[in-house]
A = this chain, B = another copy of it.
Amino acid sequence: MYARPLAKLIEELQRLPGIGPKTAQRLALHILKRPETEVRALAQALTDAKQQVGLCSVCFHLSADPVCDICRDNRRDNRTLCVVSDSRDVIAIEKTREFKGKYHVLGGLISPMDGIGPEQLTIGQLVHRVNKESIDEVILAISPSIEGDTTTLYIGQLVKPFTRVTRIAFGLPMGGDLEYADEVTLARALEGRRELE
């Protein structure tokens, strides 16, 4: 019912995750009202990002260069490797400013249900890095879920012979209320208890 180029835009916007017909329509009508330079900037940003951003050949984090900024940063500790599932996790950890080592992005988690085995992930490359580089510690920063735990155990077994392997702590979140915590979180928090210093 809309003019064809507008209907086409609504259709394309609907392909995006979490964008239903109503939202797509609202976005498309908004876009028509914006200045042409702004619309061109968005269109250009889309094609530029797709064309220029790939994966770092060392750690598999998203990067516009063959090797990403983090891997090239000589001030960072080469001996500590933080293993995450996704590039988003790198950003989340970087935001804490607590970690000064390097990363390894798996590109997902082992999930036989979804047909994702270790060979679909960058686990082989991780083992290769651990063997080749002088790594003192591999920190597994993987979410506590069935897939996360499977992946953690799998990588742990492969890497333990060569280096120290740790896993991030799970427990009550900051500001979390013990009364409202689910049983699994509470069980993990009990299990992970430490001596009071």
Contact = CB atoms under 8 A, between A and B. Distances in A.
B36 A51 contact: yes
A157 interface: no
Interface string A18-48: 1000010111111110101011111111111
Shortest Cβ-Cβ A-B pairs, 10 listed: A3-B64, A43-B43, A9-B49, A39-B50, A12-B45, A9-B45, A5-B52, A43-B46, A12-B42, A5-B49
6 contacts: A1-B94, A8-B45, A8-B49, A11-B45, A17-B26, A32-B49
A29 to B, nearest CB: 6
B8 A28 contact: no
A43 B51 CA distance: 13
Interface residues of A, number: 54
A107 B1 CA distance: 18
A27 B15 CA distance: 10
Contacts of A63: 3
A42 B18 contact: no
Q: How many copies does the complex hold?
A: 2
Main secondary structure of the interface of A (DSSP, over half): helix
A167 interface: no
A68 interface: yes
A6 B36 contact: no
B49 A31 contact: yes
A8 B43 CA distance: 11
A4 interface: yes
Contacts of A15: 34, 38, 42
